[in-house]
Amino acid sequence: MTRLSVNLNKIAVLRNSRGGQLPDVLQAGITCLGAGAHGLTVHPRPDARHIRSDDVHALAALCSKRGVELNIEGNPFAPSRDGYPGLLALCKATRPAQVTLVPDGDGQLTSDHGFDFVRDGASLAPLIAAFKALGCRVSVFVDVGDPDVAMASALGADRVELFTGPYAHAYASGDAAVALSAASVTARCALASGLSVNAGHDLDQANLATFLSHVPHVREVSIGHALIGEALYSGLDATVRAYRHIVDSSATA
């Protein structure tokens, strides 16, 4: 069964644009879980432009109380700074069920590429081991079509997260066949090496079912930007329930 993890970053963007505490990130998490989300995702960046370290602590406590998974995304190479202790230290303090390692720099608007395992593998391996020593499942962000995706297993990762931005753009243009085929091949390669498969980025209610019907054994989708945008029109509770219907239906399709 595919599980739905709701990314709350955009709630924090709205809050930070005005200051104060509204909209409330913790209340949004409570609403998402109440509507059936299997877990929550956050991507705290060193510049704290959306999710902050205090949000991570609050959401970790919520997820622990509810018995659901928290997934923390971040760049394991980014150094600590005021207000951001570093990804490893943050995970040590909050013990998320899953950490998703993403090679994004400070200047990136959003995550837009996976790791280069040939270049970064030697540096990644000890970090992956350090996160696993905390009890975290480790997923690494990968490009669809990466011929070295199986290296993630050799480095110690448990899962890969397929970067689905190119698929979403292809779907919107009306021709997703090539992108779907590439995603399926990459997923099968990962599975063959002993990795499980997650997916995320620009997935929405229009394209999600097609993706899940073509890409095998996707364990989790992490969805935030589109979901929060759709919730502006339909409400957060109703939108999360709509996504749950899609992922639940994919299990029986």
pLDDT at residue 225, rounded to an integer: 96
Q: Is 113 a catalytic residue?
A: no
d(CA 185, CA 194): 15
Cα atoms in the Cβ-side hemisphere of radius 13 Å centred on 108: 14
Q: Is 217 a catalytic residue?
A: no
Is residue 110 classed as helix, strand or coil in its secondary structure?
coil
Catalytic residue among 50, 69, 161, 201: 201
**Phi, psi of 138, rounded to the nearest 5 degrees:** -110, 125
pLDDT at residue 113, rounded to an integer: 75
Catalytic residue among 69, 73, 161, 220: 73
| pTM for this prediction | 0.95
pLDDT digits (tens, 9 = 90+) for 81-114: 998 999 999 999 999 999 999 997 666 556 667 8
Catalytic residue among 38, 43, 161, 230: 43
Is residue 105 classed as helix, strand or coil in its secondary structure?
coil
**Element (H or E) spanning 132, and its range?**
helix 117-133
CATH architecture of 3-252: Alpha-Beta Barrel (3.20)
All residue ranges of the chain with pLDDT < 70 are: 105-112, 252-253
Q: Is 43 a catalytic residue?
A: yes
